[in-house]
Amino acid sequence: MNRRTLLKGIGGAFMTLPWLELNASVMQKNNQRLAWIFMPNGYIPDRFKPTEDGKDYTLPTCLEPLKDLRSQFSIYSGLALQGNKGGGHKNCASLLTDGTRSRDEIALQAGFSENSEDIISADQLAARYLGANSFIDSMHFSSTSNVSNRSPDSVGDHPEYFKYISWKSSKEYIVQDRDPYMAFKRLYGSTSASRVSENQMKSVLDLTRSDLKRLVKYAGREDRSRLDQYFTSIRTLEKRMEKMNKDSGYSKTIPADYRKPEEDFAMGLGQSWRNTNYFDELQQMYCDLFVLAFQTRRTNVITYMFAQEATRQSYSFLESGIHHHHGASHYGTSAKHTDSFTKIIQYQVGLYAQILERLSNIKEGDKSILDNSQIMLTACIGDGQNHKGYDLPCIIAGKGGGKHKTGLHLKSNIAERKPLSSAHLAMLQAAGINAPSFGYANEALF
């Protein structure tokens, strides 16, 4: 049984399997995963950044959801987007490239070779190399809740600046899966088809039942336990989506066939059921998909945007009367706004913590999936009040196969403006990608 172990059912449905003792000798090679998780609207520095450097730091208020995972991540503060001197929400477009923007043309600079036209985001560079070891080069989730309040004529803004962080070139951005139902079908459907048949919407487990019985027959006790955990997680996700369909009219928003939206359609996306009280359920499904994708090696590269930049997403499901996200981010001297923003950030950090904890509990031999991953939580602006492109939040979890040291807070001099791209470069190099430089970084952060 090789590392691309899968079960194929009718209708073109595939189900890749988690790490098993049956194929351990191959699965232990080339098993690195990379992910970038995006928080919109920045953060509150003194409630997110520790004051002490090193190992024995006090965990700030906004990071309390991570209190039981301190040994699994490191915090890096003082980093900046060198390519965007002006700051603002439009930094979103260059978060993973550290590039610049122009009024009439998107020009994202991310140097990887001597060719100045070689423009690509860090995740897509990773996908070029790690994608060879997976079925899908990279996956991209986004919980976009509202259309941007910007227009192409507003202060040189483009709608792309607020919605996309993944770029194959300066002209080609990647439209994320904004629909967990469709993302699930793509995760377990045929990757070669541009359209997904309705037949593939049936339970993957039902489609592969006979093959599963045969596999379990030859599996050892630990493998049977892994398979049971894996199948249960798939069933749970399917039930969540079925419940969403029944409770919220979600199925009405799903087209009969799935196709990547045209670029000129991008600005109209997002004004939908996502700004209702089902927003939390949406996040939970994306967390499920994230874990399943890494567990099955369906992909080794993921980006996940909690929402688009400048989002006005309501978080009333957290607390009655809480300010919407963008309004809360301009907290100023308002105790109410500060409290609202703190609760929103804690919620997002909680989602991040949930992913980390689940991956840390799934074993691959003597390590966990998280041990073999690097997962960054970051934003394109620092202090939500002033929206500058420096002193950005940056947490990197996972040991990267032993190349990333966790449990630390490492401060950089804010005035030095050390590029965030040095963190991207470090993640790429730790994953075995021979990138001598990236963006404005000629030296890796770790």
Could you tell me which residue, 68 or 83, shows the higher pLDDT?
68
Compute the distance between CA of residue 59 and CA of residue 57 in angstroms, rounded to an integer. 6
**CA-angle at 213, arms to 208 and 219, nearest 5°:** 120
Question: Is 122 within 8 Å of 106 (Cβ atoms)?
Answer: no
Compute the distance between CA of residue 191 and CA of residue 14 in angstroms, rounded to an integer. 9
**CA-angle at 371, arms to 369 and 377, nearest 5°:** 90
Compute the distance between CA of residue 364 and CA of residue 235 in angstroms, rounded to an integer. 22
What pLDDT, in 10s, does the model give residues 4-19?
A: 455 554 445 556 667 6
The per-residue pLDDT for 10 is: 42
Closest CA to 9 of 187, 197, 206: 206
Q: Which of 114-118, 182-186, 266-270, 324-328 shows the lowest per-residue confidence on average (mean pLDDT)?
A: 266-270
Per-residue confidence band for 262, with pLDDT thresholds at 50, 70 and 90: very low
CB proximity list for 277: less than 8 A, separation 6 or greater: 316, 317
Q: Is residue 366 part of a domain?
A: yes
- What single letter denotes the amino acid at residue 342? T
Q: Which of 12-16, 107-111, 195-199, 430-434 has the highest mean pLDDT?
A: 430-434
Reply yes or no on whether the pLDDT at 124 is more than 90.
Answer: yes
Q: Is residue 294 part of a domain?
A: yes
The per-residue pLDDT for 113 is: 42
Q: What is the DSSP string of 43-79?
A: B-HHHHS-SS-BSSPPPPGGGGGGGGGGGGEEEEESE
What pLDDT, in 10s, does the model give residues 157-194?
A: 455 667 889 988 777 778 788 778 778 877 776 544 44
Q: Is residue 221 part of a domain?
A: yes
- Domain CATH code at residue 309: 3.40.720
Per-residue confidence band for 149, with pLDDT thresholds at 50, 70 and 90: very low
Closest CA to 374 of 73, 17, 43: 73
What does the chain come to in residues? 446
H or E stretch including 75? strand 73-77
Q: Is residue 440 part of a domain?
A: no
Q: Is residue 217 part of a domain?
A: yes
- What single letter denotes the amino acid at residue 157? D
The total of structural domains in the chain comes to 1
Q: Is residue 260 part of a domain?
A: yes
Question: Is 315 within 8 Å of 347 (Cβ atoms)?
Answer: yes
Domain around 191: 6-430
What pLDDT, in 10s, does the model give residues 316-366?
A: 999 999 999 999 999 999 999 999 999 999 999 999 999 999 999 998 888
Q: Which of 113-117, 208-212, 408-412 shows the lowest per-residue confidence on average (mean pLDDT)?
A: 113-117
Q: What is the dihedral of CA 327, 265, 201, 369, to 10 degrees?
A: -60
CB proximity list for 218: less than 8 A, separation 6 or greater: 22
Closest CA to 372 of 344, 407, 397, 339: 397
Which ranges of 77-149 does DSSP label H, i.e. alpha helix? 122-130
Reply yes or no on whether the pLDDT at 439 is more than 50.
Answer: yes
Which ranges of 28-81 does DSSP label H, i.e. alpha helix? 45-48
Averaged pLDDT score across all residues of the chain: 79
Q: Is residue 438 part of a domain?
A: no
Q: Is residue 163 part of a domain?
A: yes
